[in-house]
Amino acid sequence: MSKTEFIAEPGKQEIVMIRSFAAPRAKVFGAHVDPLAIPKWWGPRIVTTVVDKLDARHGGLWRFIQRDPSGNEYAFRGVFHESRAPERLVRTFEFEMMPEHVLLETVDFEETGGATKVTTRSVFQTLAARDGMLQSGAEGGAVETWDRLEEFLKA
């Protein structure tokens, strides 16, 4: 069984993911807002991730570029609505090849006994957009990214 809880109820335009990491909250939060950390865990293993922008504050931009083994590049971007260290991030998310679709992502960090529970709640503009994301294999990618985060936090 995966350590990542991935919840996508039928008929709801959201995806919720939950996982506990054996690291203090400040470190887990930091991995999300540090431009030097992101390339070490964000995205699937097969791609290389470059941080173009990562400015975690109200109105700050983020933009990550992924390069696959064939040299193709794909970018993701968004805007931070909130960055309240080490508790919560609220930001928009867009895959630049599908600019019609924007989602709102809320990431909560809760510490209990030295471990940190991360809950990511992504809400989509429409149910169809949520279902499209599921069909694109979002679950596998998300689980792999969080496996990588766990390894990064242990290193």
Site for a copy of itself, rule CB under 8 A: 11-14, 58-61, 78-82, 90, 92, 94, 99, 102-104, 106, 121, 123-127
Contact 101, 124 (CB under 8 A): yes
Nearest CA among 17, 15, 13, 8 for reference residue 144: 17
Smallest distance from the beta carbon of 97 to a copy of itself, in angstroms? 15
Smallest distance from the beta carbon of 23 to a copy of itself, in angstroms? 25
Nearer to a copy of itself, 51 or 115 (CB): 51
Contact 39, 146 (CB under 8 A): no
Smallest distance from the beta carbon of 147 to a copy of itself, in angstroms? 26
Nearer to a copy of itself, 29 or 80 (CB): 80
| Amino acid at the residue 100 | E
Give the HSE-up count for residue 81: Cα atoms under 13 Å, Cβ half-sphere: 10
